[in-house]
Chain A
Amino acid sequence: MSINALMRLSRKLYASDIPQKPTRHGFGEGLVLAGQADPQIVALCADLTESTRVLDFKTVFPERFIQIGVSEQSLAAIAAGLALAGKVPFIASYACFSPGRNWEQIRTTIALPNVNVKIMGAHAGVSVGPDGATHQMTEDLALMRVLPNMTVLAPCDAIETRKAILAAAKHDGPVYVRFARSESPVFTTDATPFKIGAAQVFRKGVDVAIIACGILVHEALLAAKALEKLGIDARVINCPSIKPLDEATILKAAKDCGAVVTVEEAQAAGGLGSAICELLSSEFPVPVERLGLQDTFGQSGTPRELLEHYHLTTPWIVKAVQKVIKRKHSK
């Protein structure tokens, strides 16, 4: 076992009865805590108060909740106006609508003037499930990562999402945080470190580095366990901060391991994997395999069926590792 003890991961990490909770619940809890700490925080929602979990904030701070209706473009620009007057607005909707529908307003009124608006994208990835492709946002990381001034976070479980929200609230400037709809393992703890711009080595290893974000970090840890039996010692890096990227941790992993697999519940083009390839290609090129949606949209199904179908689960990570190690040795 090479789990990094400093990361204080849950003791139930590999237990079959590991607690499950949607990451969006971490958002709801984090927003209430942030609201208690900072009276300038206001929350805006576009008619999805319950499912995005803004409801928690609305219940505690009804006078600081602003209902926008199904108007995502003005959701972003109204928040910009609130921020210009000193408020710290959190805007929430499904990621396919915000930033999906209102990207231009985010660009013009939030990113360009660098105002203090926090954009919360719920229902990201194919694990949204039965709603199908329209509601499964897989392009958000690419959309947000290209915006100057924007910070982009994809936390791995409900606890880390709560920390990400608190960090976003304290950060001066625009932040995008994506989270998922369905339940996923809660495998970090309150003691697990989190910082914007930092990646964490959850499992030590030297043969390959698996770098993942969001709910698939747990799949990556399961894959590392399966790889042990095959004699492969995989490093698993949790990379919730897509931008800014923890370049030191990633470059060290590339140098130590000589091969990288990236895993994200988003388009393989433009997201975490692309960010890592951009870094490695200029600083330390090594073979990389990128798991994510391969230029295709999602569809209806259960979260599990869809993650399997799009090759984002443990067996597929194992296969990608075997492939990338072969490439490493064939050099």
Chain B
Amino acid sequence: MPPIRREVPSLTEAQLLKLEERANFIREDILTMLTEAGSGHSAGPLGLADIFTALYFHILHHDPKRPNWDLRDRLFLSNGHVVPVRYVTMAHAGYFPKAELATLRQFGSRLQGHPEPRLMPGLENTSGPLGDGSSQACGTAYAGKMDGAAWHVFCVMSDGELECGITWEAALFAARNQLHNLTWIIDRNNIQIDGYTEDIMPLEPLHDKFAAFGWNVIEVDGHNIRDFVDACDRAKATWEAPTVIIAHTIPGKGVSFMEANPAWHGKTPKDKTELNAALRELRTLGGKIASELD
């Protein structure tokens, strides 16, 4: 089902351009911080840059100065290994100084290898062991529904973690309790550590699986910010079921030698030369325009 086209678009062209530009800067910062850290995941964070930009700069009701604000929308992250994209986006949004990004994965840093909200408010949940975020988000959404809260719960998760049983336990629970205030965003990038998802443990037909579980299912191009914003609006407007947005993304998006290559799932640019090669691609739109790195 294609996204509904509105007569009045949810984003102006100017807003859209600003978001797209922001997403590209976020990609650059992700690669720079990962190279500095020397370990971590590159592909997932790059693929999710558009989605996180849209969430933090357009969709979420939040206040960087009050990360524990009662009325904020809750953004859970289930695949904790992509947390660099969240750190960079949060820094851009003003949760903490960008200079702190350089401490990623270092001893004493608030930017742990996998998210720890006790150290960095605003992260909402601990995650890393895959699948758990699905249920944490359900619990918070259930509490919100019990209390008649107006805030919405989003949960970003990977496609690979749909292999975890707990994800489907949560899918049953959310549908049974009509958690309309819950939206899962699946990063459908088709890769996991050992290769392509459809080789390792096929997930398709994914849309049909969620529909059969009683969910409202929306598929979007995860790099089309306008479509993604529309999908989130529709998710919030759905009152009888939880929504899952299957966001088709390209892992490593923006850097040709990383794109759609499982080898880049769990590693970082190895040195300044490799980093500069990646940054050049991001700054030249894949070589179409000149940059100061040329």
Q: Which residues of A contact B (CB under 8 A)?
A: 42, 63, 66, 68-69, 71, 73-74, 76-87, 89, 104-105, 108-109, 112-114
Contacts and interface: CB of A to CB of B under 8 A. Distances in A.
A80 B143 contact: no
Contacts of B173: 68-69, 71, 74, 78
Contacts of B126: 108-109, 112-113
Contact of A85 (B118, B139, B166, B172): B139
Interface in B114-140: 116-118, 124-129, 131-140
Contacts of A68: 169, 173
A172 to B, nearest CB: 14
A39 B259 CA distance: 51
Interface string B72-94: 00101000000000000000000
Contacts of A89: 139
Contacts, number: 103
Contact of B143 (A63, A77, A82, A105): A82
Given A85-B143, A108-B126, A114-B118, A78 B136 contact: yes
Nearest to A70: B169
Nearest to A66: B142
Contacts of A82: 139-140, 142-143
A77 B166 contact: yes
B135 A81 contact: yes
A108 B132 contact: yes
Contacts of A42: 146
A89 B139 CA distance: 10
Given A82-B142, A108-B126, A113-B125, 11 more contacts: A73-B166, A74-B135, A78-B138, A78-B139, A78-B173, A80-B125, A81-B140, A84-B125, A85-B144, A109-B135, A112-B126
Nearest to A117: B139
Interface string B144-183: 1011000000000000000001100110110000000000
A112 B116 CA distance: 9
A73 B167 CA distance: 9
Contacts of B76: 81
Nearest to A104: B129
12 contacts: A71-B166, A74-B135, A74-B138, A74-B170, A84-B139, A87-B146, A104-B132, A105-B129, A108-B127, A109-B125, A109-B136, A113-B125
B139 A73 contact: no
Given A73-B166, A77-B132, A77-B166, A87 B172 contact: no
Interface in B54-74: 74
A167 to B, nearest CB: 24
Contacts of A81: 76, 125, 135-143
Contacts of A87: 143, 146
Contacts of A63: 146
B110 to A, nearest CB: 14
A82 B166 CA distance: 16
User: Which of B117, B125, B139, B144 neighbours the largest number of chain A CB atoms within 10 Å of its CB?
Assistant: B139
Contacts of B169: 68-69, 71, 73-74
B136 A77 contact: yes
Contacts of A86: 143
User: Which of B133, B147, B169 neighbours the largest number of chain A CB atoms within 10 Å of its CB?
Assistant: B169
A330 to B, nearest CB: 49
User: Which of B124, B128, B135 neighbours the largest number of chain A CB atoms within 10 Å of its CB?
Assistant: B135
A69 B166 contact: no
A85 B71 CA distance: 11
A81 B174 CA distance: 13
Given A108-B126, A112-B126, A113-B118, A80 B172 contact: no
Contacts of A85: 74, 139-140, 143-144, 147
Contacts of A71: 166, 169, 172-173
B128 A84 contact: no
User: Which of B117, B136, B144, B170 neighbours the largest number of chain A CB atoms within 10 Å of its CB?
Assistant: B136
Contacts of B127: 108
Contact of A108 (B129, B144, B165): B129
A84 B129 contact: no
Contacts of B133: 77
User: Which of B128, B134, B142, B144 neighbours the largest number of chain A CB atoms within 10 Å of its CB?
Assistant: B142
Nearest to B117: A113
Interface string B19-47: 00000000000000000000000000000
Nearest to A111: B126
A78 B129 contact: no
B216 to A, nearest CB: 20
B151 to A, nearest CB: 10
B121 to A, nearest CB: 12
Contact of A77 (B117, B135, B146): B135
